[in-house]
A and B are shown apart, each in its own frame.
Chain A
Amino acid sequence: MEPLSIIVRTICDIFAWFLAVFGAYVIIHGHLSPGGGFQGGAVVATFMALLLVSHGGKKLLSFVKPGLYSWAETTGLLLFIGTGFAGLTTAFFYNFLAGEGGLFGAVVPLGANSGILNSSGTIAVMNMAVGLEVIGGLSLIILYMFKGIRLYDDTGREETGHDR
Chain B
Amino acid sequence: MNGLAHTAVLAAIVVAGFFAVWFRDLLSSVVSLGVFSLLLSLEFYILKAPDVAIAEAGIGAGLTTAIYIIALRGCNVLRKGGGGGRK
Asked whether any CB of A lies within 8 Å of a CB of B in the complex, the reply is yes
CB within 8 Å of B: which residues of A?
1-5, 8, 23, 26, 34-36, 38-40, 42-43, 45-46, 49-50, 52-53, 138, 142, 145-146, 149-152, 154
- Across the interface, A42 reaches (CB within 8 A) one of B63, B74, B76, B79, namely B63
For A49, what are the chain B residues with a Cβ–Cβ distance below 8 Å? Answer: 62-63, 66-67
A19 to chain B, nearest CB (A): 8
For A45, what are the chain B residues with a Cβ–Cβ distance below 8 Å? Answer: 58, 62-63
B5 adjacent to chain A (CB < 8 Å): no
For A152, what are the chain B residues with a Cβ–Cβ distance below 8 Å? Answer: 76
How many Å lie between the Cα of A13 and that of B82 in the bound state? 16
How many Å lie between the Cα of A34 and that of B44 in the bound state? 13
B74 to chain A, nearest CB (A): 3
For B58, what are the chain A residues with a Cβ–Cβ distance below 8 Å? Answer: 23, 39, 42-43, 45-46
B3 adjacent to chain A (CB < 8 Å): no
A142 touches B67 (CB 8 A): yes
For B70, what are the chain A residues with a Cβ–Cβ distance below 8 Å? Answer: 52-53, 142, 145-146, 149
For B82, what are the chain A residues with a Cβ–Cβ distance below 8 Å? Answer: 2-5, 8
A151 touches B59 (CB 8 A): no
Number of residue pairs A-B, CB distance < 8 angstroms: 72
CB within 8 Å of A: which residues of B?
50-51, 53-55, 57-59, 62-63, 66-67, 69-71, 73-74, 76, 79-82
B6 to chain A, nearest CB (A): 19
How many Å lie between the Cα of A38 and that of B51 in the bound state? 10
How many Å lie between the Cα of A52 and that of B71 in the bound state? 13
How many Å lie between the Cα of A83 and that of B19 in the bound state? 47
- Across the interface, B73 reaches (CB within 8 A) one of A1, A8, A43, namely A1
- Across the interface, A36 reaches (CB within 8 A) one of B51, B67, B79, namely B51
How many Å lie between the Cα of A134 and that of B26 in the bound state? 29
How many Å lie between the Cα of A152 and that of B67 in the bound state? 18
A11 to chain B, nearest CB (A): 12
B28 to chain A, nearest CB (A): 15
B33 to chain A, nearest CB (A): 15
